[in-house]
Chains A and B, each alone.
Chain A
């Protein structure tokens, strides 16, 4: 069953005619097309791939890569200029979520109308309505006009509806980029159910994390072409390469073997003795769906001084971040970094290995596992914080001349190996000895001290007496 092709795309291309003004089109018509007054813009250039039953295919790529155009052509919203595609069975598309819903109708009415539009018979939606309502968790709003919905509610409604209509191919475009984390998790769980039922899912996203966690295979697009089609990790890796193409040094190829640390030197780096057991990683409280938890790829553990995994810390407590990553491609000096931001995206603290003056290898090779341990004292105001993990690499030659580099030059020279944003949430609660005043005001408890002393003055009664005299 699984190998049955439900979507076959052959050499598909799409051209947009770009006219500088409407007159160009008129002139072109008047000359019966013998003269051209437009520029061609090829949004798709010969795209071919196949989608099997029950396959979860992700499409990633930078903005303007042609991802959305591809979906629009496949769903028939746009006509292809060349090539062909063939679909088997029912195709449902959630192109730009909640687009086709009517503000005047209630959630329930919208579902009925959409199901009609999609060609489902009248009786079809009947018993599914309650399932949809349950899934959407909209409460009374389900029977109120859509105009009263918040944007998050609209997405809940739209996704819930599509998740319960039977189809052979489900096309999702930048869905779930919004919405709260709990609903998102529910959505992904539902998608997995659909896949078990042999629904094929075509999923366009910017989130490399989601792609590498859920997708069986991934297509990486750039400038209207398929650059890579295969394993998710490889695609994500190549995606970052494209994004950093200009700044990235040709990692690995130009290095000479001596740059690499001897095995003795590797031994000198923070070692296994300090590394928590795999069981702890498995119990890690950080359960971001888009973080790889497989033992060999990327691991993340957050715990306290005693090595107890936790996510809630008292103010002033030290957080121990353990993070390991299997290198996919030869690279230069690895520069790991953790950034701590507030819910409003204000960076509270961020520090990388260079800033710590930590000892780092001059290069890492493919299939090496890089282990990073970072300790941060969380002396910040109680509340929720988000942390990101970044892993960069810089060329050993650049590493040698760090002191002469400007900050912007440094940013240009570094290449991204991995970015997990957000990697997890930390909750800070007040310290035990907290009093009514709190430990401090503001965001950070900065190191410092304060002392009070009194210089005895003349009592006020004496002063008045002095005045009388």
Chain B
């Protein structure tokens, strides 16, 4: 599977830029829309949770709630974008699937690449904001791109089976966004994981994105390198999802081709 992606690297990167360039073509604000949606979400949650409901977050450590929020929300937005668009990727590229030999996983991978890229753009945007609001900036932020890559891989692994299955069961496409909405609330994004009951926190290692979000928080809020257990669990989930994704893709490849 990795070899296929390598063989199609030129196609992936070539279309990646074109996709970015044209995704918002025709709109007046253009590429700016890339940032508008997440910013609005941040605004809503920031107002709701810092002004109306208050949680224990990093606030007592001199970090504003907004920064705390974005450190979890931005990665999750990128993650849910990967899943959302990735799970539709085969169907939206049906035209190419029917007429060319490009393997299905290439289209799914491209979506996770785009989402990962957007997460890097968010960081670029975030840095001046952090400085401007006089929140502490630490060198740990250089781990952000590494975590971004890992998170994109997780998204890729998870959306692979979904993308294949949604060809066979189109209903899945409607289910995925709903699941993502629910998923958001099972993760410590709007609040700190200290708000979770102790019993539940242990259970969280079964929630694949949990340790990813936690690690993003570690580097931004706690200003430390995520502990070894975080890395192990993240790598574990990436490997598991990639293997499962690859197996499902290969198993269903012929059926998907027939049906698309």
Contact = CB atoms under 8 A, between A and B. Distances in A.
Contacts of A96: 98-99
Given A16-B258, A77-B257, A116 B99 contact: no
Interface in B10-61: 10-11, 14-15, 18, 21-22, 25
Interface string A77-95: 1110000000000000001
Question: Which of B14, B21, B100, B168 has the largest count of A CB atoms less than 10 A from its CB?
Answer: B100
B163 to A, nearest CB: 16
A78 B101 CA distance: 9
B121 interface: no
B127 interface: no
Contacts of A116: 10-11, 14
Contact of A104 (B25, B99, B255): B25
Contacts of A102: 15, 18
B224 interface: no
Nearest to B96: A100
B136 interface: no
Contacts of B131: none
B95 interface: yes
Nearest to B8: A117
A113 interface: yes
Contacts of A76: 101
A222 B198 CA distance: 69
A99 B258 contact: no
Contacts of B18: 102, 104-105
A25 interface: yes
A25 B102 CA distance: 26
B170 interface: yes
Interface string B109-134: 00000000000000000000000000
Interface string A14-29: 0011000010011000
A440 B13 CA distance: 65
A100 B100 contact: yes
B169 interface: yes
Contact of B99 (A79, A100, A105, A113): A100
B169 A22 contact: yes
A339 interface: no
A75 interface: yes
A77 B99 contact: yes
Nearest to A29: B168
Contact of A22 (B21, B102, B168): B168
B171 interface: yes
Contacts of B25: 104
A99 B97 CA distance: 10
Contact of A99 (B22, B99, B171): B99
State which size class the interface on A falls in.
20 to 34
A78 B257 CA distance: 6
Contacts of A105: 18
B201 interface: no
Interface in A296-311: none
Given A16-B258, A78-B257, A113-B11, A95 B168 contact: no
A129 to B, nearest CB: 17
B181 interface: no
Interface in B204-252: none
Given A79-B257, A99-B100, A104 B22 contact: yes
Given A104-B18, A117-B11, A78 B258 contact: yes
A77 B168 contact: no
Nearest to B14: A113
Given A22-B168, A22-B171, A99-B99, A79 B14 contact: no
B21 A104 contact: yes
B97 to A, nearest CB: 8
Contacts of A113: 11, 14-15
Contacts of A77: 98-101, 257
B12 to A, nearest CB: 11
A95 B99 contact: yes
A175 to B, nearest CB: 13
A351 to B, nearest CB: 45
Contacts of B170: 22
A104 to B, nearest CB: 4
A105 B18 CA distance: 8
Contacts of B10: 116
B89 to A, nearest CB: 16
A67 B25 CA distance: 40
Interface of B: 10-11, 14-15, 18, 21-22, 25, 95-96, 98-102, 168-171, 253-255, 257-258
5 contacts: A22-B169, A77-B98, A99-B95, A113-B14, A117-B100
Given A25-B169, A78-B254, A99-B99, 5 more contacts: A22-B168, A26-B169, A75-B101, A99-B96, A104-B22
